[in-house]
Amino acid sequence: MGVTHAFGVPGDFVLSLFALIEASPLTMVNTCDEQGAGFAADAYARVNGLGVVVVTYGVGGLKVANAAGQAYAEMSPVVFVSGAPGKQERHDQPLLHHKVRFYETQLRVFDQLTVTSAVLDDRETACREIDRALHTALLHKRPVYIELPRDMVGVSVPRPTTIDRPVVPTTDPDALRAAVDETVGRLRAATRPVAFLGLEVGRFELLRPAMDLIERMNLPTAVTLLDKSAISEQHPLFLGVYAGAMSRPEVADYVEASDLVLLLGSLLTDVNLGGGPSRLDRARSIHFAEGRLTIGLHAYDDIRLADYLGAIAAADLPRFDITLPANVDNGATTWRPVPDAPITVARLFERLATFLTDDTIVIADPGDALLGALDLPVHRTYEFFANAYYASLGFAVPASIGAQLAAPGRRPLVLVGDGSFQMTGMELSTSVRFGLSPIVVILENGGYAVERLMVDGTFNDVLAWDHTTIPELFGSGVAFDVRTEDDLDLALAGVLERADDVVLIRVQLDPTDVSPAMRRFATGFAAAAVATAKN
């Protein structure tokens, strides 16, 4: 199925499986902590189409519950494989180590966090159960859970002659005809339509047919933060990143004044909408997401996205004359350091814009690392990714491990805040161990900047770390200390000379300095965070 790497931490309930994996063509990537394995596999799945985590029972499985939650929320097909106590020893000894409550406790937890689970406790059904679980992950683009009692490792099993695939929902042809008639009618009646390329287009590998429609109709195309880089930002039809009140004003104005918004697979989450109520008019929207096509105020539940795109393509479609607002170029060709000027968030991202190449993969952690990157002009499709919906801090560093292993030849540019880095930054040890070369830009501002703008207190501070000492800790890599624009320029020049190393760039910012998008974002979200005391 195209998987070449698995991610995990060994433990005695899964040791013999690790030995089998080591003897197989799969490369086992040991992370420092199971959390890192979960995030690395999630990123691997986003790039490669399927990812695998292998952990031990209890202490391993429950440590990746959060990664499973994120994979579910953001539609990343990750297979969580857990060792487990043997069938026989469960009877012989009621108190085996790593057990929480019942031997089934972990399975029940993962039932909440995955689309299906399989316990390989029966040699007659084991192969069919594996097939069913893997194909379910691919069908729904969501995580699945496979539990392997350790006394089943090495058991000989009958090989099934057919693959047990889950039932695939089919499109109702009458509903499809009605929906396409409506869609095409609305497109023909539109004068200033906008398309959104969403998560599901990429996950279900429908970018080509979606882009064909967009290019045939000359549709201006926006993305949400979660979907940034679904369309190359150098494409002439790229409108911008839409994020409600958090958008650049010309992008927000264009989208919100449009008379038809065609959202293909976008998730209208609160973050994607920039906080506050949606400013998109449902009556003027066509929205496909999570198996439902909503046209204006009514919905169809029995149409698949691939069939929908195909049927639209067969219709007689209009072509629009458009004038797009000028795209921000972020000073991409003109950046020059102002001598001795302290570095700011805005200037950092302007400089990074000039640093991107066709071989970069940008991974942004939640916070200003993400919001500051809103207008970073990425070159290729799927060159940028972020967990912009589930928004688990600390994703980006371990994600870079999975992303680079899934896309060898491309170099991750990791954008991460200092608070997030304290959660999972040590996974750079794994990058060193496996010969990876992420460039990690740490936005150092002493804490959780976005929360300071909502409700402040000492709880939003973190201890100042001297990140430049980290290469010594790992015995590898290089670190740059950046306080001024000159420093940044020198550091990015230095990065290119260290093509095979882990590189850290510690960017020391004024703690009150945030990106314009972040300021707009926090304003939107602060109201909800402090909707207290007033009730």
Considering only residues 85 through 124, tell me which ones interact with a second copy, judged by CB under 8 A: 86, 89, 92-93, 95-101, 105, 108-109, 112-113
By beta-carbon proximity to a second copy, the closer residue of 269 and 484 is: 269
Q: Is 313 in the site for a second copy (CB under 8 A)?
A: no
Binding footprint of a second copy, residue count (CB under 8 A): 102
Q: In whole angstroms, how close is the CB of 61 to a second copy at the nearest point?
A: 8
Angle 485-497/345-355 helices, nearest 10 degrees? 30
Q: Which of 45, 53, 152, 403 binds a second copy (CB under 8 A)?
A: 152
Measured CA to CA, the distance from residue 440 to residue 180 in angstroms comes to 46
Q: Is 62 in the site for a second copy (CB under 8 A)?
A: yes
Q: In whole angstroms, how close is the CB of 169 to a second copy at the nearest point?
A: 19
Measured CA to CA, the distance from residue 78 to residue 67 in angstroms comes to 9
Closest of 279, 301, 277, 278 to residue 290, by C-alpha = 301
Q: How many CA atoms lie within 13 A of 428 on its CB side?
A: 32
Q: Are strands 298-300 and 292-295 parallel, antiparallel or unpaired?
A: antiparallel
Q: In whole angstroms, how close is the CB of 292 to a second copy at the nearest point?
A: 11
Q: Is 144 in the site for a second copy (CB under 8 A)?
A: no
Q: In whole angstroms, how close is the CB of 385 to a second copy at the nearest point?
A: 16
Closest of 481, 455, 488 to residue 467, by C-alpha = 481
Q: Which of 72, 103, 308, 385 binds a second copy (CB under 8 A)?
A: 72
Q: Is 530 in the site for a second copy (CB under 8 A)?
A: yes
Q: Is 466 in the site for a second copy (CB under 8 A)?
A: yes
107 by Cβ neighbours in 10 Å (0-12 / 13-18 / 19+) ranks as middle
Q: Is 517 in the site for a second copy (CB under 8 A)?
A: no
Helices (H) and strands (E) in the chain, counts: 20, 19
The length of the chain, given as a count of residues: 535
Q: Is 245 in the site for a second copy (CB under 8 A)?
A: no
Residue span binding a second copy (CB under 8 A) among the ranges 45-53, 213-221, 357-365, 522-530: 522-530
Tokens of 185: 């009618």
Q: In whole angstroms, how close is the CB of 178 to a second copy at the nearest point?
A: 25
Q: Which of residues 442-461 bind a second copy (CB under 8 A)?
A: 448, 450-451, 454-455, 457-461
Q: Which of 1, 154, 188, 216 binds a second copy (CB under 8 A)?
A: 154
- Chain centroid to CA 232: 17
Q: Which of 465, 490, 519, 523 binds a second copy (CB under 8 A)?
A: 465
Residue span binding a second copy (CB under 8 A) among the ranges 66-74, 161-169, 208-216, 343-351: 66-74
Measured CA to CA, the distance from residue 63 to residue 36 in angstroms comes to 10
Q: Which of 132, 140, 150, 506 binds a second copy (CB under 8 A)?
A: 150
Q: In whole angstroms, how close is the CB of 228 to a second copy at the nearest point?
A: 16
By beta-carbon proximity to a second copy, the closer residue of 150 and 186 is: 150
Phi then psi for 5, rounded to 5 degrees?
-130, 140
Q: Is 412 in the site for a second copy (CB under 8 A)?
A: no
109 by Cβ neighbours in 10 Å (0-12 / 13-18 / 19+) ranks as middle
Q: Is 28 in the site for a second copy (CB under 8 A)?
A: yes
Q: In whole angstroms, how close is the CB of 344 to a second copy at the nearest point?
A: 24
Q: Between the CA of residue 98 and those of 60, 145, 257, 274, what are the distances in Å?
A: 9, 18, 57, 42
Tokens of 76: 């990343």
Residue span binding a second copy (CB under 8 A) among the ranges 305-313, 325-333, 368-376, 469-477: 469-477
By beta-carbon proximity to a second copy, the closer residue of 156 and 334 is: 156
Residue span binding a second copy (CB under 8 A) among the ranges 150-158, 208-216, 399-407, 504-512: 150-158
Q: In whole angstroms, how close is the CB of 383 to a second copy at the nearest point?
A: 23
Q: In whole angstroms, how close is the CB of 327 to a second copy at the nearest point?
A: 27
By beta-carbon proximity to a second copy, the closer residue of 21 and 40 is: 21
Measured CA to CA, the distance from residue 515 to residue 228 in angstroms comes to 18
Q: Which of 463, 497, 499, 500 binds a second copy (CB under 8 A)?
A: 463
Q: Which of 70, 232, 360, 404 binds a second copy (CB under 8 A)?
A: 70
Measured CA to CA, the distance from residue 343 to residue 340 in angstroms comes to 9
Measured CA to CA, the distance from residue 130 to residue 232 in angstroms comes to 37
Q: Between the CA of residue 236 and those of 322, 323, 325, what are the distances in Å?
A: 11, 11, 11
Q: Which of 367, 398, 412, 425 binds a second copy (CB under 8 A)?
A: 425
Q: Is 430 in the site for a second copy (CB under 8 A)?
A: yes
Write a three-state SS string for 355-390: HCCCCEEEEECCCHHHHHHHHCCCCCCCCEEECCCC
Q: Which of 15, 317, 324, 490 binds a second copy (CB under 8 A)?
A: 15
Q: Is 159 in the site for a second copy (CB under 8 A)?
A: no
Q: In whole angstroms, how close is the CB of 471 to a second copy at the nearest point?
A: 9
Q: Which of residues 259-288 bind a second copy (CB under 8 A)?
A: 267-272, 277
Q: Which of residues 370-389 bind a second copy (CB under 8 A)?
A: 389
Q: Are strands 411-417 and 78-84 parallel, antiparallel or unpaired?
A: unpaired
Q: Between the CA of residue 79 and those of 130, 142, 196, what are the distances in Å?
A: 10, 9, 29
Measured CA to CA, the distance from residue 206 to residue 135 in angstroms comes to 18
Q: Which of 163, 338, 493, 528 binds a second copy (CB under 8 A)?
A: 528
Q: How many CA atoms lie within 13 A of 339 on its CB side?
A: 0
Q: Which residues contact 55 (CB under 8 A, 6 or more apart)?
A: 8, 9, 11, 14, 34, 37, 61, 63, 64, 80, 81, 82, 83
x/- contact string, 472-491, with a second copy (CB under 8 A)? xxxx----------------
